[in-house]
Amino acid sequence: MAIVGAGIFVPFKTHGNGFIGIVLAMLARERPVWVLFGALLFGACLSMTTALQVAGVDIPTDIIQMTPFAMVMLVLIVAGRRANLPLALGASYVRGER
């Protein structure tokens, strides 16, 4: 991702968004439509951080960049009671083994 986007290695390029992906996999409960709606919700929050910074909103940058992660915690509080991780998410991959 860093090599293609900028041509150089940039540490911490994803800014913790992988954790949002894991939460999305957990909350979707193996339903593709839920993955779509969850990805749209979290994607809107991620793009809102950039839009608020460009618009010049008088809120500290750290608070604005915290918005997607606050949304993840809010969704986990509301819908995470019955959620569990898919079995394949924690399984080790061994090449050639099924």
The tens place of each residue's pLDDT in the chain, 98 residues long, gives: 555 666 677 666 667 777 888 888 878 877 889 889 888 888 888 888 888 878 888 888 888 888 888 888 888 888 777 766 667 766 777 888 76
Q: Token pair for residue 95?
A: 């090449």
pTM (two decimals): 0.62
DSSP string, the chain: -HHHHHSS--TTTTTTHHHHHHHHHHHHTT-HHHHHHHHHHHHHHHHHHHHHHHHT-SS-HHHHHHHHHHHHHHHHHHH-SS----GGGSPPP-TT--
Joined together, the tokens standing for residue 62 give 């750290």
